[in-house]
Amino acid sequence: MFVSSAARAEPTSNATIPWAQLPVGYHPATDTDEGGIWMIGERAEAEVRTSPLVIKDPALNAYLRRIVCKLSGPYCDSIRIYVVDIPYVNARMAPNGMLQVWTGLLLRAQNEAEISFVLGHEISHYLLRHTVAQYRRVRDQAGTIAVIGALTAGIGSLAKLGLAGSASSFSREEEREADQRGFELATAAGYDPAQCVALWQQELAEETAAPKDGEFAAFAANHPATTERVSTMTAMANVAAAQRANWQTNADAFRKAVQPFRAQWVSENIALAQYEQSLLVLQLLLKSEPKSGELQYYLAEVYRRRNADGDSAKALAAYAAAVTTRGAPPAVYRGLGLASLKAGDKAAAHTAFQKYLAAVPAADDRAMIEYYLSQP
Amino acid sequence: MKAAFPFLAAAALLLAGCATPAYTNIGAEQTVLVTDGISVSPQIQWGKANMTGFNGTLWTVDGAGLDALLFFVGSPGRPLIESQASKGDTHVYQSSMLPDDVMELLAANFQKIGFQQVKTSSLRPSAFGGAIGFRFDISYTTTIGLEMKGMALACQRNGRLDLIVFLAPAEYYFGHYAPAVDRLFASVQVAG
Amino acid sequence: MLANADSLKSESTLQWSSPQKRIVLIEPDVELGELTAGGVVEPRADWSNHAAHAIETSLGSALSKRGVDVKTIAALTDPHELQLARLHAVVGMEILIHQMGFSKLPTKTTALDWTLGPGTNDFRTKYGADYAMFVYLRDSYSSGTRKALMFLGMANGGSQGAFASLVDLRTGNIIWFKQRFTPGGGDLRTGAGADEFTADLLTDFPQ
């Protein structure tokens, strides 16, 4: 059924994951076709490993590793996780066991269960050796995009995101199989099946809002979050729900793991300057944390920067809400000052700026704020 | 896949329309008119790139990937950087922008052409000839992970934006040329 | 000012600070690809790995024969070293474009005036070496040919390139730079021909 390295005698199937197409600890012989494909993953992994976009924080990595191990059981040691700081929703497994998780995914997830279905899906592609078949297809096809480029796209350049998607397009059958098996892995580990569609629904909403020629649209075109897929997974969830009484979401553990990064990831999302999509992300986050001053602040920032018709009033309202809500960072006064200045309300701007400087005496833009204050 | 000239630092992306422009000499001692009404004293010798397909002026000593001094004029309704690589960028300059907005706009335009992890900081007022402009610092990484630093000087007058940006690798090159660029910024003269 | 269109040097002899005469050889940055029928070059990791290892072995051996102690560094992990290696890639391309190509810079009039800066002393202290050598190779093959396209003069210039440099770790200055190389008879994809490749690479190498 498959060729395993002659140096190790492996069982031909795994008792806990009987449908896996490769034994635990598998590594193809280097002079085989599959060995060559594996090497592509290794070269890509060497680039990923030294990329400045990889988040090496031990606590976050340990947290994600725990999830991967819960899902993949004895295959856990064959999978290496890389948290890549790219503000798009993606997780991707290479033929050699390199698993990338992009921070756009971690930002939008509401709990550990949501993540588990995505990771289960990727792990299934690996266990079913879809990744090998896929890269063989890509390599054999004339006029196709380079395989390493696909694996490191995003790492290399956001502008290549469009390429990343198409080169990693699995067949519809492969995607369906990975959805099914990934669902099984996650539910076998106790994760609540009702959580399996939330991220897909969010992606659908963002795709709809995205400008047609924006980078997000290019990326999304190759990672279809189709309504068909959402309804299939919803049906699976409905069937599975009754099987247990105590499904887990582990929302607390998840929030604790990602909280230290939240402000950074939201800022990076806003820095994309794709504001319709940022608003959807913030609305999603605010749904479960309506009393977060931090999120209110970022919402205000999006309106201020977008500066479309009516946004000035929305920004001012959001800043006003943020300053009265716990958790808003001191920069809220800076934003309020800027928005007030643009709206022509100098008195309010000056009050806000003074509050900002009082709260952040060592602000790196102190000189500029003082300049604004000095203007009559 | 590493594409053609993949690791030329980000400034070189601006040259995507013309891979090998000719360079003319800019002597250290001249006073040079860089854009309509703006002149500077170069401080050190530079090579000026003569090229089409890019809306700014580029000076360099060692090549755009190692040090790039860029002169732009921002016009209302257009992005600050316009080239093949920036096509479709919807983030445009408006004359009602505050210095904070201009800094955010440049960061967005840089991201559009492929600079990664773009950060701006230390926004502060600064002389621009006899007028008051502003300065800020920049950092980013290139597609091969080379860390870069930058400094910008800008001024808004009469509805238009003048912008001078210097970009160079954090390793050696930025620190080596920063004092000369500082003096160049201080030498700006505005006609009229 | 150029002694030879394909190689440049600012020093003819190497200056050593210790009798050990050590050069750090950074793992060759090699990418060999296949030119597909659709006109796209697809990297082949297997070809690239074989070629890189063969060149590295051959180069190490050839330099040793010249009485040099070679320390090979296979995979950089130190952040500062990574920055220097990436900076070198950029400097190398600028030399190709501006010094050896047609896009001359008025600021570059001497034989070879390029540097990585004195940050290279980190390599010096860590590895006890006076010089570092870098090799960079991008080339492609179309099916059925044993010779690489760049060397057949058929390359699409934008994605091909071959250069090697020697950096004085005390100053960071590039003291020797060679482009192109003439290929030998062997096929680098399998590692054969690495010795001929190396022999050509090292012509005009400083004493």
Sign of CA dihedral C187, C188, C192, C193: positive
**Per-residue pLDDT for B3 more than 70?**
no
Classify residue B12: in a domain, yes or no. Answer: no
| pLDDT given at position B1 | 25
**Per-residue pLDDT for B119 more than 90?**
yes
Q: Do residues A206 and A328 both lie within one domain?
A: no
Query: 3-state DSSP call for residue B71?
Result: strand
CA-nearest of C114, C60, C110, C67 to C91 is C114
pLDDT band at C120 (very low <50, low <70, confident <90, very high): very high
**Per-residue pLDDT for B16 more than 60?**
no
pTM of the model: 0.86
Q: In chain A, what residues touch B115 (CB-CB under 8 Å)?
A: none
Kindly determine whether residue C86 and residue B146, on different chains, have CB atoms separated by under 8 Å.
yes
Mean pLDDT value across residues A250-278:
94
Classify residue B9: in a domain, yes or no. Answer: no
CA-nearest of A162, A167, A165, A175 to A138 is A167
Q: How far is CA A212 from CA A93, A221, A276, in A?
A: 28, 10, 12
Q: Which residues pair with B116 in a beta bridge?
A: B141
Q: Nearest C-alpha of chain B: how many angstroms from C185?
A: 27
d(CA C138, CA C115): 22
Q: Nearest C-alpha of chain B: how many angstroms from A300?
A: 15
CATH of the domain at A356: 1.25.40.10
**Per-residue pLDDT for B52 more than 80?**
no
Which phi and psi (to 5°) does residue B103 adopt? -60, -45
The residue of C29, C36, C90 whose CB has the most chain B CBs within 10 angstroms, and thus the best one to mutate to test that interface, is C90
pLDDT band at A164 (very low <50, low <70, confident <90, very high): very low
- Helix (H) / strand (E) element for C141: namely strand C131-142
CB contact residues (below 8 A), chain A span 292-331, against chain B: 305, 307
Q: Nearest C-alpha of chain C: how many angstroms from B22?
A: 5
A143–chain C Cβ distance below 8 A for any pair: yes
Kindly determine whether residue A53 and residue B117, on different chains, have CB atoms separated by under 8 Å.
yes
The total number of structural domains that make up chain B: 1
d(CA C201, CA C25): 14
Q: Do residues A71 and A176 both lie within one domain?
A: yes
C46–chain A Cβ distance below 8 A for any pair: yes
Assess contact for A325 and A292: CB atoms under 8 A.
Answer: yes
CATH of the domain at B146: 3.40.1000.10
pLDDT band at B69 (very low <50, low <70, confident <90, very high): very high
d(CA A365, CA A354): 13
Other beta carbons within 10 Å of B96: 11
Most confident of A55-64, A141-150, B107-116, C85-94: A55-64
Sign of CA dihedral B19, B20, B22, B28: positive
Kindly determine whether residue B20 and residue C97, on different chains, have CB atoms separated by under 8 Å.
yes
d(CA C38, CA C108): 40
| pLDDT given at position B8 | 41
What ipTM score was computed for the predicted complex, to two decimals? 0.89
Mean pLDDT value across residues C72-76:
87
Q: Nearest C-alpha of chain A: how many angstroms from C65?
A: 31
pLDDT band at B7 (very low <50, low <70, confident <90, very high): very low
Question: Domain limits at A62?
Answer: 33-241
Classify residue A152: in a domain, yes or no. Answer: yes
CA-nearest of B153, B149, B184 to B168 is B149
B76–chain A Cβ distance below 8 A for any pair: no
Between A179 and B14, name the one with better pLDDT.
A179
Q: How far is CA A290 from CA A293, A297, A322, in A?
A: 9, 12, 11
The total number of structural domains that make up chain A: 2
d(CA A327, CA A333): 13
Contacts of A283 (CB under 8 A, 6+ apart): none
Q: How far is CA B190 from CA A77, B35, B163, C45, in A?
A: 65, 10, 13, 55
Q: Do residues A184 and A116 both lie within one domain?
A: yes
Mean pLDDT value across residues B94-100:
94
A157–chain B Cβ distance below 8 A for any pair: yes
A62–chain C Cβ distance below 8 A for any pair: no
Kindly determine whether residue C40 and residue A144, on different chains, have CB atoms separated by under 8 Å.
yes
Kindly determine whether residue C82 and residue B145, on different chains, have CB atoms separated by under 8 Å.
yes
Class of domain C7-11+19-201: alpha beta
Hey, what's the torsion of the CAs at B54, B59, B62, B65, to 10 degrees?
-30
Classify residue B4: in a domain, yes or no. Answer: no
C26–chain B Cβ distance below 8 A for any pair: no
- Helix (H) / strand (E) element for A278: namely helix A275-288
Q: In chain B, what residues touch C103 (CB-CB under 8 Å)?
A: 20-23
Classify residue A3: in a domain, yes or no. Answer: no
Contacts of A266 (CB under 8 A, 6+ apart): A107, A281, A282, A285, A295, A298
Q: How far is CA A158 from CA A177, B87, B115, C92, in A?
A: 29, 15, 9, 25
d(CA A87, CA A103): 6
pLDDT in tens, B19-45: 567 899 999 998 999 988 899 999 999
pLDDT band at B140 (very low <50, low <70, confident <90, very high): very high
| pLDDT given at position B134 | 98
Out of B66-75, B78-87, C67-76, least confident range: B78-87
**Per-residue pLDDT for A290 more than 70?**
yes
Kindly determine whether residue B125 and residue A342, on different chains, have CB atoms separated by under 8 Å.
no
In whole numbers, what is the pLDDT of chain A averaged over residues? 85
Question: Domain limits at B27?
Answer: 22-190
| pLDDT given at position B6 | 37
Tokens 């976009």: give the residue: A53
Kindly determine whether residue C45 and residue A39, on different chains, have CB atoms separated by under 8 Å.
yes
B96–chain A Cβ distance below 8 A for any pair: yes
C140–chain A Cβ distance below 8 A for any pair: no
Which phi and psi (to 5°) does residue B131 adopt? -100, 175
Q: Do residues A299 and A167 both lie within one domain?
A: no
